Structure 1
C-alpha cells in the first residue's frame, strides 16, 4: 500500500528579497508565507525547519499512541515538542538534530515500559526514518 500526500511551494524573487508561499493538500497550510525573514529572522510566517518539527512531533506522537494501544492501554495523554536545529556548514546549511521532548500520562503504565515504547516509537516513526540527523528523546512521565 502506498499513500501519497502533497505540499507545494512558490517563491517569487530570488535570494533574500524573494518571498514564498507554502501550501498543503489538506489545506492546513494555505499560501502560508515563508522566506529569508521567516527562516533566519523573526518574520511572520513559517519555515522548512518548523514544518519538519511539526511533522516529526506529530508522527512520533501518533506512533507512540498506537504502540500504547497495542500494549493494551486505552487512555492517556501525550504531548511532544520537537526542536529542529539548522546549522551552517561547508555546503550551506544542514539540519543537524531533531530533539523530541515528550510528556506522557498513561494510567496503569510504569515509567520503564513508557520509556521502552517511546524509544521504539522514535525508531519506527516514518519521519524519524526519513531524517538523517541526530534524533534525541527526553521523556517526562506522570503515570
Structure 2
C-alpha cells in the first residue's frame, strides 16, 4: 500500500515582515496564516512545528490503536498530545524533541501491556521514523 499526500505554502514578503498561508491537498487546512509572528510571537495562525506536533500525535495514536486491535481489543479511547521543541543551535534552527503524552482507556487491558504496545507504536509510527530528534513517551492508563 502506498499513499501520497500534498500540502502547499505561499510566503509574500521576506523574513520577519513576510506573511504566509498553508494549505493541505484535502482542503482541511485552506490558506491558514503563518509567518514569523505565528512561529515566534504567538500570533494568530499556525507554524510548521505545530503542524508536526499534530501530525506526530495523530500518527502515533492511530499506530497505537492498530496495535491494540491486533492484540484483540475492540473498544477504547486514546488521547495523545505532542509538544515539539524548536531550538537554535550553531548550525541554525532544528526540531530537537517531540514529547508524546498519551492517555488510554481500554477495557480488559493490563497497564503493562498498554505501555509495551505504546512503546511499539512509538517506534513504528511513520512520523516517529521521519523525525530526526529525541522522542519521549509518557503514558497514562485508566484501564
| Bin of the TM-score, shorter chain as denominator length | over 0.9
Offset at residue 140 of structure 1 (A): 0.3
**For 1:1-143, what aligned pairs fall within 5 Å after superposition?**
1-143=1-143
Structure 1: gaps (5+ residues): none
In 2, the alpha carbon distance for the partners of 1:130 and 1:59 equals 11
Structure 2: gaps (5+ residues): none
TM-score by length of 1: 0.99
Q: Deviations over 1:22-46 (max 9, x none)?
A: 0001111100000000000010000
Local SS of the residue matching 1:52: helix
Q: Deviations over 1:79-118 (max 9, x none)?
A: 0000000001112211000000000000000000000000
TM-score by length of 2: 0.99
RMSD of the alignment, in Å?
0.5
Alignment coverage as a number of residue pairs: 143
